[in-house]
């Protein structure tokens, strides 16, 4: 009971001071509003920036997520090519990946991929330009989790025998006006005829990882494309056994490729191995840096707001000098006066924080409604609200301290005589 | 004794000049006394009031209130003494303009950290005592001057103080209202309240049972009211031409001149410059 007494008394005093402060703010509505504009702007901008970053992060991470976090990209690094001859050397050749699974225990699957962009496909007189034609191996189906909604996936035989078969996505099926059961019919890719063996679900267009804007995709067996177009650009997508093993897999692949391509020790890699995990880490780092920078800018505006608070509290103290004198005369301790003015400053700042968070929510909604900004997932996370109020409260405490101390130190007689 | 002042001095320094507002003043006030402090401005009566009210500390001397020596206390302890032992009534009421009468009366109880149900009860009771039962919800600007002063008195009484200090309590009131307030003081005194009142109006001072006259930081006359009335006319006639004459005053204090008896009261001007 005795232990409870002090905190309880303190709580009661804070509570009373808070009511008093609210009354003061209500009585000086215009002044309070103008004073807190600094805090409002500070809090609104911090919440809006955090909301935007949160939205961006959610968007980017979901992009990565759909890509699969255990994926590893292998591509020739042409940037280190100095001569045309080197260019040929750097180019990937399908053979060098033979035996990669045996040498790289952390790698579960890989597929060679080659892409031909902007091809025309046609079916019974209807044609669609700007179609992405992708040469893949059957393991692609395990790496990319894309459902085959009709027919069958590619088989090893399709690839090894360079069969003239294709998979199309539902969008192609739709655009070419093909009947619902289209497996077995043939389409033209460029001048060549391919038989449709399966239909793959269309994926929502990725805004980050390119692709054609049309969203039309046709898949051919890798070797089929290769035979038609032996110098087409090829790369490899591998999958590690788990996202945790991505870094191990990366190291194993790099070692394997250096050996295959006979790169001397000390020479740089002429290929790139990128892990999705790594992109995510990089992105998080950048997002963190942006948050910090934003926090810095916001800190400045909060300091400016705090000076405003200090100013108005000083005015308030000198206006209410007689009141302070009376309160002291009837038994208010200096600490009670200090607390009253501190709480008033903090409540003022909280009020600013509340308006700021509301304004930030307004800004966030506005941002989310701009489609080009890709921020439809932007929202103010709970911790940002807590942070805003924390900052606002801290500003109130810091900048309210000087006026409050001034009030607490007033001499009761002088204060009572104050005009 | 409720109040015991011993050799109290209060020295203000203004630049190089030293002003002895109180100069070795000693005073005792007992339980249920009703004393008026009179004196011209600059006589030290305000300083005395401030020290009695624990709003100010003497430069030297000892002040004992209700058996407690206050002169060695810190600011927090003094605030507590003001809260629990002293009730103030001011000339200009000093009510919070935005609070109702009841809330104004509750103010000292807030700093006494009493529970809100207790607070309401005690504040209501104090307002009952001063006869404002039907004005509790009114704000100061909805009350007359006399009612405002009653609220202030209720606020002073709400903590059952050892002493009620009134500084010119009727200074801002017309004579009829003043009389009401003084009647209230009389009533409180009959109920056992110890009261010290500062005034410069003889009519007001007459309500007290004891009149303490001050000059130059000292008490030069401390008599029961009946004797004071007779004594004072003589001294005021003597002192009037010589405004800042000292020396004589102190001697007079020791042997008051009481030969001339003028029974009519309130004819002289206390505040002749």
Cβ contacts (< 8 Å) between B58 and chain A: which residues?
A: none
d(CA B228, CA A17): 49
Residue contact B111–A332, C-beta within 8 A: yes
What tokens does B235 get?
Answer: 């001294």
Average pLDDT of chain A to the nearest whole number: 86
Q: Is B165 in contact with B52 (CB distance < 8 Å)?
A: yes
What tokens does B139 get?
Answer: 């704000």
Q: Which whole number is the average pLDDT over B55-77?
A: 91
pLDDT tens readout for residues A330-341: 988 898 899 889
Candidate from B75, B76, B111 with C-beta closest to A330: B111
Give the model's pLDDT for residue A213. 60
What is the least distance, in Å, from the CA of B85 to any CA of chain A? 10
Residue contact A331–B76, C-beta within 8 A: no
Give the model's pLDDT for residue A349. 92
Give the model's pLDDT for residue B211. 93
What is the least distance, in Å, from the CA of A49 to any CA of chain B? 41
Residue contact A328–B96, C-beta within 8 A: no
- Is 70 exceeded by the pLDDT of residue B268? no
d(CA B34, CA A189): 115
Residues of B (193-222) whose Cβ lies below 8 Å from A? none
Interface predicted TM-score of the whole assembly (ipTM), two decimals: 0.82
- What sign has the CA pseudo-torsion A130, A131, A132, A134? negative
Give the model's pLDDT for residue A208. 52
Total domains, chain B: 1
Q: Is A217 in contact with A172 (CB distance < 8 Å)?
A: yes
Q: For position B100, which CATH number holds?
A: 3.40.50.300
What tokens does A341 get?
Answer: 């003015």
- Is 60 exceeded by the pLDDT of residue B234? no
Cα distances (Å, whole numbers) of residue B28 to B4, B33, B42: 5, 10, 22
What is the least distance, in Å, from the CA of B83 to any CA of chain A? 4
d(CA A155, CA A152): 9
Residue contact B79–A333, C-beta within 8 A: yes
d(CA B108, CA B83): 6
d(CA A256, CA A97): 9
pLDDT tens readout for residues A231-265: 888 899 999 888 788 888 989 999 999 988 888 88
- Name the residue of chain A whose CA is nearest to B156's CA: A330
Q: Pick A64 or A224 by higher pLDDT.
A: A224
What tokens does B17 get?
Answer: 């000049």
pLDDT tens readout for residues A56-110: 888 877 777 776 778 888 888 877 766 655 777 788 888 888 888 899 999 999 9
Q: Which domain holds residue B179?
A: 31-55+70-254
Which residues are CB-neighbours of A138 under 8 A, at least 6 positions away?
A111, A153, A154, A155, A156, A158, A159
Q: Count the Cβ atoms, other than its own, within 10 Å of residue B144.
A: 12
pLDDT tens readout for residues A8-33: 767 777 887 888 788 888 888 888 88
Question: Is the CB of B117 inside 8 Å of chain A's CB atoms?
Answer: no
Give the CA count within 13 Å in the CB-facing half-sphere of A30: 0
Candidate from A27, A322, A333 with C-beta closest to B76: A333
Cα distances (Å, whole numbers) of residue A3 to A9, A10, A61, B47: 11, 12, 50, 41
Residues of A (26-85) whose Cβ lies below 8 Å from B? 27
Give the model's pLDDT for residue A325. 93
d(CA A210, CA A240): 23
- Length of chain B in residues, anyone? 273
- Is 80 exceeded by the pLDDT of residue B258? no
Cβ contacts (< 8 Å) between A9 and chain B: which residues?
A: 113
- Name the residue of chain B whose CA is nearest to A11's CA: B113
Residue contact A329–B50, C-beta within 8 A: no
Candidate from A23, A334, A413 with C-beta closest to B56: A413
Cβ contacts (< 8 Å) between A327 and chain B: which residues?
A: 107, 111
Q: Count the Cβ atoms, other than its own, within 10 Å of residue A242.
A: 13
Q: Is A222 in contact with A113 (CB distance < 8 Å)?
A: yes
Give the model's pLDDT for residue A356. 92
Q: Count the Cβ atoms, other than its own, within 10 Å of residue B208.
A: 25
Residue contact A413–B98, C-beta within 8 A: no
Give the model's pLDDT for residue A359. 94
> How many A-B residue pairs are in contact by the CB < 8 A criterion?
58
DSSP string, B99-123: S-HHHHHHHHHHHTT--HHHHHHHH
- What sign has the CA pseudo-torsion A339, A342, A344, A349? negative
Does residue B249 form part of some domain? yes
């Amino acid at each position: 009971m005795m232990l409870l007494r002090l905190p309880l008394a303190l709580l009661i005093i804070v509570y009373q001071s808070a009511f008093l402060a609210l009354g003061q703010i209500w009585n000086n509505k215009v002044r309070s509003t103008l004073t807190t504009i600094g805090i409002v702007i500070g809090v609104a901008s911090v919440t809006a920036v955090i909301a935007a970053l949160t939205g961006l992060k959610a968007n980017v991470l979901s992009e990565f997520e759909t890509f699969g976090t255990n994926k590893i990209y292998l591509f020739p690094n042409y940037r280190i090519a100095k001569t045309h001859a080197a260019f040929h050397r750097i180019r990937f050749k399908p053979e060098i990946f033979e035996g990669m699974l045996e040498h790289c225990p952390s790698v579960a699957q890989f597929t060679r991929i080659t892409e031909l962009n902007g091809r025309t496909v046609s079916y019974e007189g209807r044609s669609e330009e700007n179609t992405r034609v992708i040469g893949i191996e059957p393991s692609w189906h395990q790496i990319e989790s894309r459902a085959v909604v009709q027919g069958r996936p590619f088989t090893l035989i399709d690839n090894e025998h360079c069969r003239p078969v294709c998979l199309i996505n539902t969008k192609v099926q739709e655009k070419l006006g093909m009947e619902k059961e289209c497996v077995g019919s043939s389409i033209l890719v460029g001048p060549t005829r391919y038989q449709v063996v399966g239909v793959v679900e269309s994926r929502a267009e990725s805004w980050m990882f390119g692709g054609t804007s049309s969203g039309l995709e046709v898949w051919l067996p890798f070797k089929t494309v290769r035979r038609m177009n032996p110098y087409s650009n090829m790369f490899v997508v591998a999958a590690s056994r788990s996202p945790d093993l991505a870094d191990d897999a990366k190291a194993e692949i790099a070692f394997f490729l250096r050996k295959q391509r006979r790169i001397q020790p000390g020479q740089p890699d002429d290929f790139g191995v990128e892990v999705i995990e790594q992109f995510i880490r990089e992105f998080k780092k950048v997002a963190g840096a942006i948050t910090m920078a934003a926090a810095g800018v916001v800190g400045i505006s909060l300091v400016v707001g705090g000076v405003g608070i200090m100013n108005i509290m000083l005015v308030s103290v000198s206006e209410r000098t007689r009141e302070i004198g009376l309160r002291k005369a009837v038994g208010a301790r200096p600490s009670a006066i200090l607390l009253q003015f501190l709480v008033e400053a903090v409540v003022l700042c909280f009020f600013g924080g509340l308006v700021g968070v509301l304004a930030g929510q307004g800004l966030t909604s506005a941002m989310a409604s701009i489609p080009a900004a890709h921020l439809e997932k932007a929202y103010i996370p709970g911790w940002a609200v807590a942070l805003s109020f924390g900052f606002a409260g801290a500003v109130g405490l810091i900048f309210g301290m000087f006026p409050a101390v001034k009030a607490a130190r007033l001499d009761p007689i002088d204060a009572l005589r104050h005009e | 004794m409720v109040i015991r002042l011993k050799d109290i001095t209060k020295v203000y320094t203004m630049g190089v000049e030293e002003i002895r507002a109180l100069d070795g003043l000693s005073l005792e006030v007992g339980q249920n006394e009703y004393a008026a402090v009179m004196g011209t401005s600059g006589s030290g009566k305000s300083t005395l009031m401030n020290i009695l009210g624990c709003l100010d500390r003497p430069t030297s001397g000892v002040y004992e209130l209700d058996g407690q020596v206050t002169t060695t206390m810190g600011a927090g302890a003094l605030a507590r003494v003001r809260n629990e032992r002293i009730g103030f009534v001011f000339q200009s009421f000093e009510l919070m303009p935005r609070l109702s009468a009841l809330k104004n009366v509750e103010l000292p109880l807030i700093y006494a950290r009493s529970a809100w149900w207790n607070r309401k009860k005690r504040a209501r009771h104090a307002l009952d005592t001063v006869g404002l039962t039907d004005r509790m919800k009114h704000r100061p600007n909805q009350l007359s001057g006399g009612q405002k002063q009653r609220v202030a008195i209720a606020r002073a009484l709400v903590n059952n103080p050892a002493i009620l200090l009134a500084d010119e309590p009727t200074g801002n009131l017309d004579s009829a209202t003043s009389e009401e307030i003084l009647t209230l003081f009389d009533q409180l005194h009959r109920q056992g309240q110890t009261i010290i009142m500062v005034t410069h109006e003889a009519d007001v001072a007459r309500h007290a049972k004891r009149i303490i006259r001050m000059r130059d930081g000292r008490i030069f006359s401390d008599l029961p009211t009946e004797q004071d009335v007779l004594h004072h006319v003589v001294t005021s006639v003597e002192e009037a031409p010589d405004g800042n004459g000292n020396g004589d005053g102190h001697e007079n204090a020791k042997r008051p001149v009481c030969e001339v008896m003028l029974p009519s009261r309130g004819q002289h001007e206390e505040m002749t410059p």
